[in-house]
Amino acid sequence: MKKFIPLLLVFLILTSVCAGCGNSEKTDVTTGTKEDKPVLNVSVFAQEHEQAMYREVISQFEQKFNCTVNFQVAGDQYWPELEAALTANAAPDVFYLGLGDIKRRVWADKIVALDDLLDVSSLDRIWPEALNLYKYDVETDKLGEGKIWALPKDFSAVSMTVNKAIIEKRRDEIEALVKDGTLPFFPEIDENGNLPVYTFTEFAILCKTLTFEDPTLPDTAGSKQVYGTHLWEDFCLQPFIWGAGGDYLNEDATRVLFDTPEFIEGYEGFAKIIEMGGSGLSTDEVTGYLKFLAGRCAYFPCGTWDVGAFQAIEDDESINPGKSWFDFDLAPWPISDRYSNLSIEERQDKWAGRVDSIGYCVSKQSKNQKLAAELAYVLSADEEVQRFLAKQGGQVPNIVSMAEGEYLSDDSYFPESRVVFVRMLQGQNGHRVPTSLTFNAIWHTEGFISGVDSVWSYYEGIDKGVKPMSVSEYCRSVQPKAQELLEQAIQDEAAINPNK
Amino acid sequence: MKTKTYKKTYFRVLDNIWGYAFVLIPIIGLVVFVVIPLCMSIYASFTAWPLGQKITSAKWVGLNNYITMFNTPLFWKSLGNTFFYMIGIPIGLVLSIIYAALMNRGTRYENVFRVIYYTPVITSTVAVSFIFQRMFMSDGGVVNNYLMALGIKNPPNWMSHPGYTKWVIIIMAVWKGLGSSIILYIAGMQGISRTYYEAAKIDGASWFYTFRKITIPLLMPVTFYLIVTGIIGGAQMYVEPRLIFTGNGPANSTFTTVIHLYDNTFRYSKAGYGSAVANILGIIVFIITAFQFYINGRRERYEETKTNN
């Protein structure tokens, strides 16, 4: 007997290894429990307050559908872990889908179309602009058409935010500029509901006026120096390009447009703020964010997900008594100097900011696809979830009627000018993020962003170890390489496109 | 006679099977988690493999990924930055050996100091990065406020000037890693026989001379371990630059090779190219580590010869 023990040991090890290497479809333990309840695995990333709300909704879902939902909140390695799970055919039933990932997930047969699993008429209440982002027609290879492959977790927008406390402190100086005609209007919504849309030069002048030493700031601000704005290309340049009538890519996303006059004009408008001194000597996002939170920056970009954090500072009487140094609201992005003769009404549709989304999709390997789709629908369009998230300042409601109705009219939502976000999502002032239109973003990050310090070095006069270049020089210099990288991305996409 | 030989062979085979059974588990682990991924990574580096697709469907591109990599200025920049960060290794070693010596003198509150210096090691890197962002804010940060209070009118633009950004990361990495090096050095110092120090004391050697001639040489195995792990860890630098500088830092000054690898693999879906970067980085780290082992081996042989003579 004793001599068989080693053989048995070897056999056990080999069988257990083979079992571990087996196809998860055959050994899927997630499809049933002792009570034979269906089990769904959901993997997301969410903030603490969001998690509590999701758990509550999921608990109701479990009761209604007599199922078990494993709600997993991933850390900062969400995307690599998801890729690993997808590659190993062990993806959760419901997971996030980025806009740039739709095609390759469909081609790799990793996700299912939701049209066949849900009552399509029930999707009417979700923003059609957001739903269109998740449509893809496999046969014609066109995005925005065909079947729906995910439901939006959110439909986000990035406008500017303004610290009105700073504006108030400089009221006299700004009013003097309005009086002498340097600025066409005061930076606030007028009596007809028109947003204060400035041209690049006007905005630069305004930012310079808002750059001053404020002795009333608390010591916790770290410094008394206040700046008009803080901008960095990766996140803030796009609205300037769109505001000048330009774009990053041509219509079918096959040509990079960095060397076009409109693009250069938009970038020059952006650089003008640096040149005029309204932005401060730093190019990093973090410093800008910290300055804004400390009440030391008047204008800053603001995503729909940011307002909760901003509101928390505004409401904290112990650190911000009477909103003395932090009182935020939303504002539009500036537009081309070519529009300087337009009235405030005529300027309303000239500005644009980025709109984006992330969606819930259902794994092709899910044993409970219909149930998973139902859960995705609840997370995306349940009224209570949407109301809660919007009131927390995490997003604009995904339900159109709610966003255009109670979100605008009910004062328990914030900030005051949230109509800015709604107009962007309605499409009149929103523009899709260009990098989500291509197979990858390398043409933008490596082709454009990685060298922008040349421009900062030029305007700031600081040696950053790169050749200083004016905006037009820089844009023309990077165009060929960026175009090459875009073409490479197109080729990479074609290589895995089953239709080609 | 025949039976005896048969029995001998039988027991030898049985022994061998027992032996193989015991080593099978680590061997399987090695094959599954090291050899197969390594082979896949080498194979993938010669293909255009879009992430999310099956590797079997990846198109063979020969040396293209390697050629592209060597012709990409960002790759070289990232490699240069990665090795620049390793300046922190000798700085950390010198500081930790000094602190370890000070905390190993039997003074009253040395355990309290050990806890204090070890705290950064167990603190979340996210939290530490957030604190360092605030401390090194170019304008309004604690560090520059102190420097200005000391009379420096134009303190460094830590977060925006490429000449300083890497130093923010190095300072943070040294500060965060100091505690574990100190503990290792203290353990090493406590393993040194008191007789060496007593003999030196009788000979009239000063504290510093004893430290230089006895403590430091006898701590060489610890130092060697810290250098090797420091270089391997430094080559994998990813989290700190990404958390403190959300992008690649001004003029890509905080961009590391692992960030380059990650971006290409997960953001641009170029897993083949990412594998090529990983392989080259692995080869470089392997060569450096092998060289260190060679130097260390030579030093040990020299010491042995010296002792024998």
Alpha helices in A316-368 (DSSP H): 344-347
Is the ipTM reported for this complex over the cut 0.85? Answer: no
CA dist A207 to A210, A211, A281, B27, Å? Answer: 5, 6, 14, 65
| Tokens coding A166 | 């700073």
CB within 8 Å: B162 and A465: yes
Nearby residues of B35 by Cβ (< 8 Å), 6 or more positions away: none
Confidence of residue A15 (pLDDT cuts 50, 70, 90): low
The reported pLDDT for the residue numbered A53 is 78
Q: Six-digit token pair at B300?
A: 């040990």
CB A33 within 8 A of CB A39: yes
Instruction: List the single residue in B28, B50, B266 with the smallest CB-CB distance to A496.
Output: B50
- Annotate A465-474 with b (16+ C-beta within 10 A) or e (fewer): ebebbbbeeb
Strand partners, A226: A212
Predicted pLDDT at A120: 81
Look up residue A279 and give its amino acid.
Answer: S
* Top-confidence range, A385-394, A402-411, B249-258, B292-301: A402-411
Q: What's the confidence (pLDDT) of residue A6?
A: 54
Chain B residues closer than 8 Å to A109 by CB: none
Percent of chain A predicted with pLDDT > 70: 92
Confidence of residue B302 (pLDDT cuts 50, 70, 90): confident
Instruction: In whole angstroms, give the CA distance from residue B226 to residue A69.
Output: 45
Question: Hey, of A23, A293, A496, which one would you mutate to test binding to chain B, going by the most B CBs within 10 A of its CB?
Answer: A496
The Cβ of residue B45 has, within 10 Å, a number of other Cβ atoms equal to: 24
Give yes or no for residue B292 having a pLDDT over 70.
Answer: yes
Of A15-19, A76-80, A347-351, the poorest mean pLDDT is in A15-19
- Return the pLDDT at A119: 87
Tallying the residues shown for chain A, one arrives at 500
Strand partners, A264: none
Report pLDDT digits (tens) over B215-267: 999 999 999 999 999 999 999 999 899 888 877 888 899 999 999 999 999 88
Element (H, E) at B117: helix B110-122
- Stretch (H or E) spanning B203: none
Task: Report chain A residues whose CB lies below 8 A from the CB of B246.
Answer: 284-286
**pLDDT for the residue B93:** 96
Residue of B nearest to A110 (CA): B52
Among B28, B137, B262, beta carbon nearest to A290: B137
Q: What is the mean pLDDT of chain A?
A: 89
Which positions in chain A touch B163 (Cβ < 8 Å)?
465
Higher pLDDT, residue A301 or B295: A301
Measured between CB atoms, which of A10, A110, A283 is closest to B24? A10
pLDDT of residue B28: 92
Measured between alpha carbons, how far is residue B198 from residues A84, A163, A311 in Å? 58, 69, 67
pLDDT at A206 > cutoff 90: yes
Residue of higher predicted confidence among B10 and B161: B161
- Which token pair is A370? 């219909």
Q: Which residue type, as a one-letter code, is found at position B12? A: R
Using the beta-carbon criterion (under 8 Å), do B270 and A104 form an inter-chain contact?
no
Provide the shortest C-alpha distance from residue A410 to chain B (in Å): 36
Average pLDDT over residues A276-280: 76
- Across the range B184-192, mean pLDDT stands at 94
Test B245 with A287 for CB contact under 8 angstroms: no
- Contact residues, chain B, for A290 at CB < 8 Å: 133-134, 137, 140
All residues of chain B having their beta carbon less than 8 Å from the beta carbon of residue A86 are: 52
Residue A457 · residue A238 · CB < 8 Å? no
Percent of residues, chain A, with pLDDT higher than 90:
67
**Residue A456 confidence (pLDDT):** 84
Per-residue confidence at A493, pLDDT binned at 50, 70, 90?
Answer: confident
Higher model confidence: residue A432 or residue B54?
A432
Chain B: give the shortest CA distance to residue A240, in Å: 20
- What pLDDT does B3 receive? 60
**Contact call for A453 and B250, based on CB within 8 A:** yes
pLDDT for B42 equals 96
Q: Which long-range contacts (CB under 8 A, 24 or more apart) does A431-435 make?
A: A431/A238, A431/A239, A431/A242, A431/A352, A431/A353, A431/A354, A431/A355, A432/A99, A432/A133, A432/A354, A432/A355, A432/A356, A433/A99, A433/A238, A433/A354, A433/A355, A433/A356, A434/A238, A434/A247, A434/A248, A434/A249, A434/A253, A435/A100
- Pick the closest to residue A223 from B155, B170, B246 (CA basis): B155
What is the interface size between A and B, counted as CB pairs within 8 Å? 140
Is the Cβ pair B50, A104 closer than 8 Å?
yes
pLDDT at B195 exceeding the cut of 70: yes
Residue A74 confidence (pLDDT): 81
Task: pLDDT band for B7, please (50, 70, 90 cuts).
Answer: confident
pLDDT for residue B59 is more than 60: yes
What pLDDT, on a 0 to 100 scale, did the predictor assign at position A2?
56
**The pair of three-digit structure tokens given for residue A189, joined into one six-digit string:** 């919504």
Rounded percentage of chain B residues whose pLDDT exceeds 90: 65
Cα of A127 to nearest chain B Cα, Å: 27
Cβ contact B238:B258 at 8 Å: yes
Helices (H) and strands (E) in chain A, counts: 21, 13
User: Is the pLDDT higher at A474 or at B297?
Assistant: A474
Closest by Cβ to A284, choosing from B57, B245, B269: B245
- Strand, coil or helix: what is A56? helix
Residue B193 identity (one-letter amino acid): S
Q: State yes or no: pLDDT of A92 exceeds 90.
A: yes
d(CA A89, CA A242): 41
Q: What is the pLDDT of residue A121?
A: 84
Q: Which residues contact residue A242 at a Cβ distance below 8 angstroms, ignoring those fewer than 6 apart?
A: A266, A333, A351, A352, A353, A431
- Site from A17, A106, A213, A286 to mutate, B interface, most B CB atoms within 10 angstroms: A286
* Whether residue A415 has a cis bond before it, omega within 30° of 0: yes
Do B53 and A104 count as a contact with CB atoms less than 8 A apart?
Answer: yes
Whether B137 sits inside 8 A of A222 (CB atoms) is: yes
- Chain B residues with beta carbon closer than 8 angstroms to that of A294: 140
Partners of residue B139 in chain A, C-beta under 8 Å: 222-223, 225, 280-282, 287, 291
Task: Name chain B contacts of A3, Cβ cutoff 8 Å.
Answer: 14
Write down the H helix ranges in A231-305.
233-243, 261-275, 285-293
Strand partners, A158: A303
Contact flag B59-A495 (C-beta cutoff 8 Å): yes
Query: Which residues are A126's β-sheet partners?
Result: A399
Closest Cβ–Cβ partner in B21, B52, B133 for A105: B52
pLDDT at A461: 75
Distance from CA of A479 to the nearest CA of B (A): 16
A376, A366 in Cβ contact below 8 A?
no
Give the closest-approach CA distance of B286 to chain A in angstroms: 25
Closest CA in chain B for residue A485: B268
Of B140, B253, B269, the CB nearest to A294: B140
**Amino acid A9: pLDDT:** 54
A80-84, A194-198, B75-79 — which is least confidently predicted?
A80-84
Left if phi > 0, otherwise alpha if psi is -120 to 50, otherwise beta: which for A109? left
Out of A50-59, A477-486, B182-191, B217-226, least confident range:
A50-59
Residues A416 and A408: their CA atoms lie apart, in Å, by 9
In order of their start, the domains of chain A are 27-154+356-425 (3.40.190.10), 157-354+465-492 (3.40.190.10)
Strand ranges across the sheet with A135-137: A142-143, A135-137, A147-148
Higher pLDDT pick, A201 / A79: A201
Q: What is the mean pLDDT of the segment spanning A52-77? A: 88
Residue of A415, A409, A358 lying closest to A159 (CA atoms): A415
Would the CB atoms of A280 and B247 count as touching at under 8 Å? Answer: no
Q: Bridge-partner residues for A229, per DSSP?
A: A299
Is the confidence at residue A22, as pLDDT, over 80?
no
Which of B161, B243, B264, B275 should be substituted to probe chain A, the one whose Cβ sees the most A Cβ atoms within 10 Å?
B161
In this predicted model, which residue has the larger pLDDT, B88 or B20?
B88
User: Where does residue A208 rank: exposed (0-12), middle (13-18), buried (19+ CB within 10 A)?
Assistant: middle
Q: Is the CB of residue B261 less than 8 Å from the CB of residue B281?
A: yes
* pLDDT > 80? residue B53: no
Give the residue among A45, A291, A80, A82 at the shortest CA–CA distance from B238: A80
The backbone torsions φ and ψ at residue A300, rounded to the nearest 5 degrees and listed phi first, read: -150, 150
Given an 8 Å threshold on Cβ–Cβ distance, is B141 in contact with A222?
yes
pLDDT in tens, A331-385: 999 999 999 999 999 999 999 999 999 999 999 999 999 999 999 999 999 898 8
| Interface mutation target, options A95, A325, A446, chain B, most CBs of B under 10 Å | A446
Q: What is the DSSP string of A79-104?
A: HHHHHHHHHTT---SEEEEEGGGHHH
Find chain B residues with C-beta within 8 A of A496's C-beta. Answer: 50, 53, 57
At residue A10, the pLDDT reads: 55
Which chain B residues contact residue A234 at CB under 8 A?
247
CB < 8 Å to A459, chain B? none
Q: Over 70: is that where the pLDDT of B72 sits?
A: yes
- What Å distances lie between residue A407 and A356, A412, A418, A422, CA to CA? 19, 8, 8, 9
Q: Which of B17, B133, B141 sits opposite A6 (nearest CB)?
A: B17
Average pLDDT over residues B92-112: 90
Residues with Cβ within 8 Å of residue A362, at least 6 apart in sequence: A93, A94, A111, A112, A114, A117, A369, A372, A373, A376
Q: Strand pairing of A225-229 and A212-213?
A: antiparallel
User: How high is the pLDDT of residue A8?
Assistant: 59
Per residue in B136-165, pLDDT (tens digit) is: 988 888 999 999 999 998 899 888 888 899
Q: What share of chain B is helix, strand, coil (3-state, %, to 5)?
A: 75, 0, 20
The confidence score (pLDDT) of residue A256 equals: 98
Q: Do A221 and B140 touch (CB under 8 A)?
A: yes
In this complex, which of A290, A439, A450 lies closest to B252 when CB atoms are compared?
A450
d(CA A324, CA A163): 10
CA nearest B14 in A: which residue? A3
Is the separation of the CB atoms in A110 and A364 below 8 Å? yes
Across A278-306, b (16+ Cβ under 10 Å) vs e yields bbbbbbbbbbbbbbbbbbbbbbbbbbbbb
**In this predicted structure, what is the pLDDT of residue A334?**
97
Confidence at residue A14, expressed as pLDDT on a 0 to 100 scale: 56
pLDDT interval class at A77 (50, 70, 90)? confident
Complete domains list, chain B, with CATH: 2-64 (no CATH), 66-308 (1.10.3720.10)
Please judge whether A281 and B138 are an interchain contact, meaning their C-beta atoms are less than 8 angstroms apart. yes
Taking residue A122's Cβ as centre, other Cβ atoms within 10 Å add up to 10
Identify residue B159 by its one-letter amino acid code.
Answer: M
The whole-number pLDDT of residue B56 equals 83
Sign of the CA dihedral with B4 first, then B5, B6, and B7 last? positive
pLDDT at residue A227 tops 70: yes
Residue A464 reports pLDDT greater than 80:
no
What CA–CA distance (Å, rounded) separates B235 from B237? 6
